[in-house]
Structure 1
Amino acid sequence: MTSHDNTGHNSGTGTTGEAGRPPLFYGWYVVAAAFAVTFVGFGAAYSFSAFVEALQQEFSASRGAVSLVFSLAGFLYFGLGVVTGPLADRFGSKPMAVIGMVLVATGLVLAGFAQSLTQVYLAYGLGVGLGVGCSYVPSVGTVQRWFARRRGFASGLAVSGIGFGTLIMPLLAALLIGTLGWRNAYISLGALSAVLGISMALLIVNDPRSRGLGPDGGPPLPPTSSGASEGIELKKAIRSRPFLTLYFAGLIASFGLFVPFVHLVPFATDQGMTAGEGAFLLGMVGVGSTIGRFLLGNVADIIGRRTALVLAFAGMAATLVIWAVSTSLLPLAIFGLTFGTFYGGFVALMPALVMDYFGGRHVSSIIGVLYTSVALGTLIGPTAAGYAYDLTQDYTLAILGSIVVNLVAAIAVATLRKPESAAA
């Protein structure tokens, strides 16, 4: 048996081979796979900002019409979690992640051959949207099964692929557009996504018990000891005040959350900066996002997750003020870094609050339904910001609207009782 598991998976606890270095617990390979999947998927999604001006010029389209490409993709990848989570439970996470990476790569390549904006909608919007939707929840969800004691760290490491993807992929896209043109840039990104995403997705293993292991490399747990018996069922949860409040907050805030991801690069070039500098600004959002997932997560352990989520919404509103009054690289870089930090906190805290309020038995299903709020906001917000720009030739209206919706979300969450009080 040990010869079959040639990477030493049965020794994942590190209790054997003290004389030498114990084999690496296979759960960390699963974390690396989830990191790569989120890096490729969200990196491809958030690199779209670098393509906005090229698509406008190629198809003589308004900024609002071009923005709809991203909004369609965002709507799909946030909305599909409610479907792909249960599918992964039935068929396994590896097939879902591999299919997702194939769709992302195919969508990017086909976008490079598009002859109309409608074809870009179909190729990029559907390809990247469906691809991220298929792969994100299953791959990150699998990480939770491989860890208990170090679950928070492992999960944070896995989703930090989103931040690194937001940092690196827009910069790479801008470089490729400048040297190869937007069509070959899309094809190149598609090839990269295929090689990196598919090969890493193949490392995903659905459950540590299939390797003769338990969480963190310990002995395998019996099927009845997962602790999943505690929690509120889905139908009851979605009718509760905490869920409805979180749903409203996610919906209203998402009208503004993703405006920078689409419009920060074209805003920068409107101010006379290069496309590379614009991509750098978006990369700062990615750096901040990675920091925020760990920083606000740790702060939440001290001040409470509900309070920390209020801080995240209010912080995004405050940093958007910096964007509203800035026209040069340094203050916009400060905006990107600070906005990304609070955004990363929001991403990390929403699922954790679901666990706090409703328990673990149906947590994936509840999170999947909750994320449909973000899907709806993403569908409307960036596109509306683009049309507001077309109307005024300025982003002030879109930025002010984003500030208001984040403040409304902060106030809504602040009205909730603490999770332990709500549970009582």
Structure 2
Amino acid sequence: MGEAAVDDGTSEVKAPDGGWSWAVLFGCFIITGFSYAFPKAVSVFFEELIREFDVGYSDTAWISSILLAMLYGTGPLCSILVNQFGCRPVMLVGGLFASLGMVLASFATSIIHIYLCTGVITGLGMALNFQPSLIMLNKYFSEKRPLANGLAATGSPVALCCLSPLGQVLQYEYGWRGGFLILGGILLNCCACGALMKPLDPPKTSETPGIENTPDDGNKKAKPKPKPKLLDFSVFSDLGFVIYTVAASIMVLGLFVPPVFMVSYAKELGNEDTKSALLLSIMGFTDIFARPTCGYIAGLQWVRPRCVYLFSIALIFNGTTDLVGSLSKDYTSLVVFCIFIGISYGMVGALQFEVLMTVVGTEKFSSAIGLVLLLEATAVLIGPPSAGHLLDSTKKYMFVFLLAGVEVVVSALVLAICNLLFIKKKPEAPETATKNGETVQEKEKNHSSTPPIEEPHKADGNSEKKAEDIMKDPREVETVLKDKDEQNKNITCSPDTKL
């Protein structure tokens, strides 16, 4: 059965798994909340934007779609900036961009202006915060990483529970323009979260006993450390990473569709605006408990190497909920739909990046997440708008949820089946993978075209047989003893050798 290689957090700096790690986790909690909840919460303003600019559902859906596309599509850019400047400076600049976009959008005179300000500028700012926060979380946690991912992912439903009713109140009190302006001020908190991302101090070099330390006269220069690659494309040579990327790209086609259209669907059924917006809060409330619970389960000893299959189960649950929820015809059924979709979102959110960290490891994660988000960007960009076009043509929300459910279920099947078929066993490190007393590297040498080099002190089955053959012949025994005597004579006498 295909087991993923669990990353042990081995890197130049050991993950502390405590102390300042919890401050980093809190910052990642806030950033994740803004990044994922904001595109959903902004859908509260869609009805007023439709009346203001005389556009359709598909046109307003592009706002959330562009936000998510920038969050995903700028992944390689974020990876390059993080590898070049570090996480903290990138996040501080990102917080300014996120706030600036919403402030400028409050002065928009057409839907295109909102696309550029809210979608592009704010989306870029959130991307510059989201990806570095995950990278820092991966550096600060190792043993407790699944739980930390679950807790950080809980920021999304918590923010959704707050931002959705807040957006509704802001719309009533100040209109969509005033609401956008106030939300822009709230997004400045991303800068405070970025300030929490303190870089880990490199380990101090330990002094070797018995060797005198020579004073540094300033003439000797330390060897420069090799610069990390700005973007490491070698992750594509990992079959597990390729399978994950394909499945995730299919997943995001339908994953974000239900929250975007949930409020509009409730209003279509004749419910009040406040009751309709409450559905997103219900979804987020159940999501709050699902994410840390799933993160704890993923961290169990037996489950952690197989978390990719737990992720597949979560996707099947999410897609099936969409398929069944498409039959909802009243407010009560919508509430039940939101409860189950919230649980399934919690499972998916807690496992999505934990599986990626498990597949590629700590060293390549900064590049891997950027490339994954880039490949998912196209799917994110066409997902909600295509659902909006389907709604405009059919005038039925049922088909929107059916399409989303099918796409998520297909992604789960691709992930699970491909891992079962192509990832045969858990990869092992060359120095630890042994069989019959022979390491993997030794096996490769023995099967190569060049003859193997005999090691005099190698304890394997062949050396034992040679020793037995020598002991059978007395002449060979005498030869071996003479050779040892000559070697002992050649050793120079020193205080160490006299002992």
TM-score range (shorter-chain normalised) is 0.7 to 0.9
- Contact in 2 for aligned 1:108/1:123 (Cα 8 Å): yes
**1-side partners of 2:381 and 2:121: how far apart?**
16
- Contact in 1 for aligned 2:150/2:351 (Cα 8 Å): no
**2-side partners of 1:40 and 1:297: how far apart?**
20
Counterpart in 1 of 2:458? none
| Residue 54 (structure 1) shift | 0.9
Whichever residue aligns with residue 94 of structure 1, its letter is R
| Residue 416 (structure 1) shift | 2.7
Counterpart in 2 of 1:268? 266
**2-side partners of 1:159 and 1:85: how far apart?**
20
| Residue 74 (structure 1) shift | 0.5
**2-side partners of 1:234 and 1:344: how far apart?**
30
> For residues 235 and 198 of structure 1, do their structure 2 counterparts lie closer, same or farther at Cα, with a shift above 3 Å needed?
closer
State which structure, 1 or 2, has the greater radius of gyration over its C-alpha atoms.
2
**2-side partners of 1:355 and 1:141: how far apart?**
10
| Residue 381 (structure 1) shift | 0.8
**2-side partners of 1:192 and 1:235: how far apart?**
36
**2-side partners of 1:112 and 1:388: how far apart?**
29
- More moved, 395-404 vs 272-281: 272-281
> For residues 128 and 288 of structure 1, do their structure 2 counterparts lie closer, same or farther at Cα, with a shift above 3 Å needed?
farther
Question: Cα deviation per residue 1:267-323 (whole Å; 9 max; x = unaligned)?
Answer: 111111222222221223323433333233344445521221211111011111342
Q: State the SS of the aligned residue for 2:383.
A: helix
Counterpart in 1 of 2:406? 404
> For residues 420 and 207 of structure 1, do their structure 2 counterparts lie closer, same or farther at Cα, with a shift above 3 Å needed?
farther
Counterpart in 1 of 2:288? 290
Question: Cα deviation per residue 1:337-373 (whole Å; 9 max; x = unaligned)?
Answer: 3223222322332333334333333122122212223
- Contact in 1 for aligned 2:149/2:354 (Cα 8 Å): no
What aligned pairs does 1:101-120 form with structure 2 within 5 A after superposition? 101-120=95-114
Question: Cα deviation per residue 1:35-67 (whole Å; 9 max; x = unaligned)?
Answer: 222333433322111011111110000110111
What aligned pairs does 1:233-244 form with structure 2 within 5 A after superposition? 234-244=232-242
Whichever residue aligns with residue 330 of structure 2, its letter is S
Whichever residue aligns with residue 323 of structure 1, its letter is G
- More moved, 238-247 vs 382-391: 238-247
Question: Cα deviation per residue 1:132-169 (whole Å; 9 max; x = unaligned)?
Answer: 11100112221222333433333333332222112211
Identity rate, percent: 26
Counterpart in 1 of 2:394? 392
Q: TM-score, normalised by structure 2?
A: 0.71
**1-side partners of 2:22 and 2:412: how far apart?**
35
Counterpart in 1 of 2:197? 204
1:316 aligns with 2:314: no
- More moved, 348-357 vs 73-82: 348-357
- Contact in 2 for aligned 1:43/1:168 (Cα 8 Å): no
Question: Cα deviation per residue 1:46-97 (whole Å; 9 max; x = unaligned)?
Answer: 2111011111110000110111111111111012222213312321212211
> For residues 368 and 341 of structure 1, do their structure 2 counterparts lie closer, same or farther at Cα, with a shift above 3 Å needed?
farther
| Residue 420 (structure 1) shift | 6.9
- Contact in 2 for aligned 1:357/1:422 (Cα 8 Å): no
**2-side partners of 1:247 and 1:266: how far apart?**
31
- Contact in 2 for aligned 1:41/1:128 (Cα 8 Å): no
5+ residue gaps in structure 1? 1-12, 14-23, 213-228
Whichever residue aligns with residue 199 of structure 1, its letter is A
| Residue 188 (structure 1) shift | 1.1
Counterpart in 1 of 2:138? 144
Counterpart in 2 of 1:340? 342
**2-side partners of 1:72 and 1:30: how far apart?**
28
**2-side partners of 1:122 and 1:332: how far apart?**
33
Question: Cα deviation per residue 1:200-253 (whole Å; 9 max; x = unaligned)?
Answer: 33232122559x9xxxxxxxxxxxxxxxx9xxx954432444333222211222
> For residues 381 and 321 of structure 1, do their structure 2 counterparts lie closer, same or farther at Cα, with a shift above 3 Å needed?
same
- Contact in 2 for aligned 1:310/1:411 (Cα 8 Å): yes
- Contact in 2 for aligned 1:357/1:420 (Cα 8 Å): no
Counterpart in 1 of 2:362? 360
**1-side partners of 2:361 and 2:31: how far apart?**
27
* Equivalent pairs, count: 382
Question: Cα deviation per residue 1:85-129 (whole Å; 9 max; x = unaligned)?
Answer: 331232121221121221111111222111000000011001221
- More moved, 155-164 vs 407-416: 155-164
- Contact in 2 for aligned 1:68/1:382 (Cα 8 Å): yes
**1-side partners of 2:241 and 2:419: how far apart?**
12
Counterpart in 1 of 2:459? none
Counterpart in 2 of 1:173? 167
Q: Where is the helix percentage greater, Structure 1 or Structure 2?
A: 1
What aligned pairs does 1:73-152 form with structure 2 within 5 A after superposition? 73-152=67-146
- Contact in 2 for aligned 1:49/1:264 (Cα 8 Å): no
- Contact in 1 for aligned 2:235/2:364 (Cα 8 Å): no
**2-side partners of 1:163 and 1:86: how far apart?**
29
What value does the CA root-mean-square deviation take over the aligned residues?
2.6
- More moved, 278-287 vs 385-394: 278-287
- Contact in 1 for aligned 2:251/2:407 (Cα 8 Å): yes
Whichever residue aligns with residue 276 of structure 1, its letter is T
> For residues 296 and 29 of structure 1, do their structure 2 counterparts lie closer, same or farther at Cα, with a shift above 3 Å needed?
closer
Counterpart in 1 of 2:275? 277
| Residue 422 (structure 1) shift | 5.8
- Contact in 2 for aligned 1:285/1:339 (Cα 8 Å): yes
What aligned pairs does 1:367-386 form with structure 2 within 5 A after superposition? 367-386=369-388
5+ residue gaps in structure 2? 1-15, 205-227, 429-499
